Amino acid sequence: MSDVDIKSVLTENRLFKPSAEFTAKARLKPDDLKALHQQAEEDYEGFWANQARQHIDWHTPFTKTLDDSQAPHFKWFTDGTMNVSYNCIDRHLANKADKTAIIFEGEAGDTRHISYQQLHDDVCQFANALKTKGISKGDRVVIYMPMVPEAVIAMQACARIGAIHSIVFGGFSADSLRDRIDDAQAAMLITADGGTRGGKIVGLKEAADKALSSGCDSINDVIVLKRSGHDINMQDGRDTWWSDAIAGQDKTCEPEWVEAEHPLFLLYTSGSTGKPKGIVHSSAGYLLNAVTSNLWVFDLQDDDIFWCTADVGWITGHTYVAYGPLATGASIVIFEGAPVIPDAGRFWKMVEQHKITVFYTAPTAIRALMKFGDDYPNKYDLSSLRLLGTVGEPINPEAWMWYHTVIGKERCPIVDTWWQTETGANVLTPIPGVTVTKPGSCTFALPGMAVDIVNEEGEFITEANKGGYLVITKPWPSMVRTVWGDDERYIDTYFPKFDGKYYLAGDSARRDEDGYFWIMGRIDDVLNVSGHRLGTMEIESALVAHEAVVEAAVVSRPHEVKGEAIVAFVICKEDRPVGEDAEKMVAELRSWVGEQIGAIAKPDDIRFADGLPKTRSGKIMRRLLRTIAAGEEITSDTSTLENEAVVAQLQGEA
Ligand code: WTA
């Protein structure tokens, strides 16, 4: 169970009611929410069937709702056919063709508005280009792009023809890209010459070339978007510029009507073992929860401008950028750049300029911007905002209060949304016009989501403030279907306990005396750095792959802005490096991990010792390492350790 200290949040009892102004306009009023919960309780399957009929345009209507015959491989709406891209674009053309679908802003300040009609035409042209290159239903396409509209166009184009996309975040290294391409056996890679971030060019094509030269035999074609404009190498017969690929292509493309369960995408995410796993999402079930949560949680209405700051490389950028909001016919904002370029007022300037009404970001961004003070947000007119959201990690009450007062001017409800790559969409979250919020709590489960907390034996914990395993006790439409190519791993990871009855989220949680959920942290060896999931084993494997390293253990320590910082304890083959040698080795290992995984995985601290603290049975004392990493006093007895002397070395005292 997690070691997180819950005392600080146990004292949090401030309550915030949604303003009357917000509730008056809100899509869901208290009675509507009550009715939804009641319907879901009375007839769970009927509830989801109704939602699916209401929110998805079907090509062939489904007659079966839930198929649990192969549990825990659940299937939804199996005999229905539909197309996700049709649902995100075509169905709006009758009355919203000229409405802005995407407002794009580049880091340099360049902007573009793309209407639904234009998006349709662009997606169709690109879909036809994919077909010309031989891509068809079921083929895997890896997308390694900067955060530009073409990333969404590429995703939608894949969906249109039934190809399965897998986005690899642009910050991942060549090696990570190669591993994902190989695991997915992708036939095509879509990338760009480069992206811009923090004033620098991110050399995506260079990394792609490196990946392709060290594996990736399944790749036949590479499509390259010109974005940064710097010189890159184009390989004859393999690489095509995006503009050439779409030249002369038709602006219509009949959607491929796929069965509801057809995989829409894979998304690799970290778990407790070394190898990231390809989470498989379905088409209809995924889209359904994407739509309902965008309507219920983000309250999207026709005049809203929704900015979710997540990159499409993460699940949040799938459900709350590329798919969900478009399926509701909303206008979204896409930004390629860093929140502090040219200064820490960038987000707030964009809110003013684009009249953003709904804003969704991560606690790490809020904490980072909060550090720059109130003057930046106060310089801009934030009166267009009506709703704020957060995701990715627990938000500390202090950051919540800053968001509430300085950004939301005490007018905007905050939705603290708990969910995961595997859940596909929000699970625990306030409903903005209804729920009385508490800073730091993700409050309650959405209608139709059966969330609970159980103890080691799988018994429900009813006692207030007692921590346990967070579980979901009934299947839901947007749940992960399997791990790509590894059904066993799906079962071992998500249904390892409690006779496979409940989905195990991997988080620990408690409910307070009012029934509010509080997330306490991960129960497995997964770190949450700036809202990004990283497996400790993944980083350890990268470290031991370095020729100078024999053993490594990775833990985290609390970090003011990033939530958690990565601390690596490393044992070298040669003598323990000290002084300048140690500094050199730290720099070497940090850049090594950057190459192996990506810059987000570089350890913040690296400490060397002659050995790791182990019990006499050889188990690494991770709890002790966490205490050392946090710089806290060691209160446990270390005399039972096999090698007590290393403790002082790891503390930097010897
Ligand atoms: C954590 C991101 C507390 C949690 C959508 C979860 C949160 C993991 C919250 C999933 C939140 C996400 N409060 N913790 N509001 N949102 N988490 O797959 O540990 O990148 O299991 O999905 O992030 O991370 P993932």
For residue 471, the surrounding DSSP H or E stretch is strand 468-472
**Pick from 370, 367, 420: nearest CA to 395:** 367
Delimit the CATH 3.40.50.12780 region(s) of the chain.
20-416
Are residues 125 and 156 in contact, defined by beta-carbon separation less than 8 angstroms?
no
* pLDDT of 234 higher than 90: yes
* pLDDT of 293 higher than 50: yes
Which atom of ligand 1 approaches the CA of 533 most closely? 20
The DSSP output letter for 82 is E
**High-pLDDT (> 70) share of the chain, %:** 98
Mean pLDDT computed over 1-23: 69
Mutate to test the pocket of ligand 1, among 391, 470, 522, 562 (most ligand atoms within 8 A of CB): 391
Which atom of ligand 1 approaches the CA of 390 most closely? 15
Largest CA distance in the chain: 75
Residue 521 Cα to ligand 1 midpoint, Å, equals: 9
Are residues 454 and 428 in contact, defined by beta-carbon separation less than 8 angstroms?
no
User: Among the listed ranges 26-30, 251-255, 273-277, 330-334, which one has the minimum average pLDDT value?
Assistant: 273-277
Residue 418 Cα to ligand 1 midpoint, Å, equals: 6
**Pick from 76, 90, 89, 48: nearest CA to 322:** 89
Tokens representing residue 14 in the block: 């401030």
* pLDDT of 280 higher than 90: yes
pTM reported for the whole predicted model: 0.93
CA atoms within 13 A on the CB side of 366: 30
Are residues 508 and 521 in contact, defined by beta-carbon separation less than 8 angstroms?
yes
Q: Is the dihedral of CA 161, 166, 172, 174 positive or negative?
A: negative
| pLDDT tens column, 307-335 | 999 999 999 999 999 999 999 999 999 99
- Does the beta carbon of 507 sit less than 6 angstroms from any atom of ligand 1? yes
Separation of alpha carbons 447 and 428, rounded Å = 10
Whose Cα sits closest to atom 11 in ligand 1? Answer: 418
Does the N-terminal peptide bond of residue 18 adopt cis geometry, omega within 30 degrees of 0? no
Delimit the CATH 3.30.300.30 region(s) of the chain.
526-653
As a whole number, the mean pLDDT across the chain is: 94
Query: What secondary structure, in 3-state letters, does 557-602 show?
Result: EEECCCEEEEEEEEEECCCCCCHHHHHHHHHHHHHHHHHHCEHHHC
Mean pLDDT computed over 79-102: 98
* pLDDT of 612 higher than 50: yes
Residue 204 Cα to ligand 1 midpoint, Å, equals: 27
Q: Where are the alpha helices (DSSP H) in 133-173?
A: 149-161
* pLDDT of 203 higher than 50: yes
Q: Which residue has the tokens 């919540």?
A: 400
| pLDDT tens column, 243-254 | 999 999 999 999
Position 1 scores a pLDDT of: 35
- Does the beta carbon of 361 sit less than 6 angstroms from any atom of ligand 1? no
Structural domain 451-520, CATH architecture: Roll (2.30)
- Does the beta carbon of 494 sit less than 6 angstroms from any atom of ligand 1? no
**High-pLDDT (> 90) share of the chain, %:** 88
- Does the beta carbon of 392 sit less than 6 angstroms from any atom of ligand 1? yes
* pLDDT of 7 higher than 60: no
- Does the beta carbon of 276 sit less than 6 angstroms from any atom of ligand 1? no
Are residues 221 and 256 in contact, defined by beta-carbon separation less than 8 angstroms?
no
CA atoms within 13 A on the CB side of 632: 12
* pLDDT of 3 higher than 50: no
- If DSSP codes are grouped into helix, strand and coil, which group holds residue 283? coil
- Superfamily of segment(s) 526-653: ANL, C-terminal domain (3.30.300.30)
Position 654 scores a pLDDT of: 61
* pLDDT of 644 higher than 90: no
Which has more confidence, 621 or 358? 358
Q: Read off the amino acid at residue 385.
A: L
pLDDT band at 570 (very low <50, low <70, confident <90, very high): very high
Are residues 146 and 192 in contact, defined by beta-carbon separation less than 8 angstroms?
yes
| pLDDT tens column, 508-540 | 999 999 999 999 888 888 899 998 989 898 899
Delimit the CATH 2.30.38.10 region(s) of the chain.
451-520
Tokens representing residue 231 in the block: 């010189």
Q: Which residues contact 237 (CB under 8 A, 6 or more apart)?
A: none
DSSP assignments along 300-349, one per residue = --TT-EEEE---TTSHHHIIIIIIHHHHTT-EEEEEES-TTSS-TTHHHH
Are residues 260 and 87 in contact, defined by beta-carbon separation less than 8 angstroms?
no
20-416 carries CATH number 3.40.50.12780: yes
Q: Is the dihedral of CA 604, 610, 614, 618 positive or negative?
A: positive
Mutate to test the pocket of ligand 1, among 507, 516, 522, 556 (most ligand atoms within 8 A of CB): 507
Does the N-terminal peptide bond of residue 72 adopt cis geometry, omega within 30 degrees of 0? yes
Residue 505 Cα to ligand 1 midpoint, Å, equals: 10
Position 10 scores a pLDDT of: 56
- Does the beta carbon of 416 sit less than 6 angstroms from any atom of ligand 1? yes
* pLDDT of 595 higher than 80: yes
* Burial (0-12, 13-18, 19+ Cβ within 10 Å), 254: exposed
Q: Which residue has the tokens 């995924």?
A: 286
pLDDT band at 11 (very low <50, low <70, confident <90, very high): low
| pLDDT tens column, 422-439 | 999 999 999 999 999 999
- Does the beta carbon of 420 sit less than 6 angstroms from any atom of ligand 1? yes
**Pick from 245, 241, 188: nearest CA to 216:** 188
